[in-house]
Amino acid sequence: LLRSLTGRYRKLDLVENQLMIQDQYSQYPLSQLSTGAKEQVQIALRLGIASKISSGNPLFLVLDDAFQHSDWERREALINTVTALAKQDWQVIYLTMDDHIRKLFQQIGESQLGADFRYHELD
């Protein structure tokens, strides 16, 4: 899940009260990552913990512009990951004011979820 969400990082470790992230070359303190990368790691942690607690049973997920700080190229992969959760019967609610993220969710959600995809615009 970590690699799927970040596209780069493979492992998390707690070293002397500091969360460390590892890619194929080195290990870094989480605090040194960009805002977008930190948010991707934090989502992976939340989803991993939620899956473990629920024994793999689907839950619900509410995200409020969780991908806003991610690179535009990474956003599509993040939305594909969340859509895959919805295909596994997770209920996903994503709130955004970002037009790019909204359009990606509409394209990917409609094509992969069909009638199960819902879009609501709030005024």
| Selection from 112, 71, 70, 69 nearest residue 92 by Cα | 112
What pLDDT score does 51 carry? 87
Instruction: Say if residue 22's pLDDT is above 90.
Output: yes
Tens-place pLDDT, residues 46-98: 888 888 999 989 999 999 999 999 888 889 989 998 999 999 999 999 999 99
Look up the pTM and report it: 0.82
The answer to whether 58 and 89 are in contact (CB under 8 A) is yes
10: amino acid identity, one letter: R
Query: Is the distance from CB of 107 to CB of 76 less than 8 angstroms?
Result: no
